[in-house]
Structure 1
């Protein structure tokens, strides 16, 4: 765990120590979720996706679930079985 002192600056800005930025692989422009829990400020890196992409992904997942339920989509017990099917064995 890395623990360092930070100072609240003008416009409520805080600099995240470089060691944490490097350790977490953060870059300028990355999005963070900030929330308070029991008096502790939590900052969590997040990925933000366009709504259209999430809607398309949700539709693809629902289509695949329907295919699995109907028996149209094969289900594999393990990765080896998947590769065997892909290799035609």
Structure 2
């Protein structure tokens, strides 16, 4: 598909690509130039505080796993069985 560079370096992404990718007005796109090719990638932007909290939770879980305090499951089914048993 062909598009044209407009005023203020703007381009229009063809509608069928927008629909196929599920893009909507306001979505964020990362733009990268690599070896003469321009890539556009949809991205999700999260507040730094949320990412810091998530990183902290992950580090706590890793520490529990290392200390043998966090159960590790071989399959998703085993995880769900353990979760079903926790409700009783």
Q: TM-score by structure 2 length?
A: 0.90
Q: After superposition, where does 1:37-52 map in structure 2 within 5 Å?
A: 37-52=34-49
3-state secondary structure, aligned to 2:31:
strand
Q: Distance in 1 between matches of 2:61 and 2:84?
A: 22
Alignment length (residue pairs) = 86
Is 1:53 the counterpart of 2:39? The answer is: no
Corresponding residue of 1:35: 32
Distance in 2 (CA, whole Å) between partners of 1:86 and 1:28 is 39
**Unaligned runs of at least 5 residues, structure 1:** none
Alpha-carbon RMSD: 1.4
Deviation, 1:40, is 1.2
Q: Provide runs of 4+ in structure 1 moved above 6 Å.
A: none
Corresponding residue number in structure 2 for 1:70: 67
Measured after TM superposition, the shift of residue 65 of structure 1 is 0.5
Q: Which runs of 5+ in 2 are unaligned?
A: none
**TM-score after normalising by structure 1:** 0.90
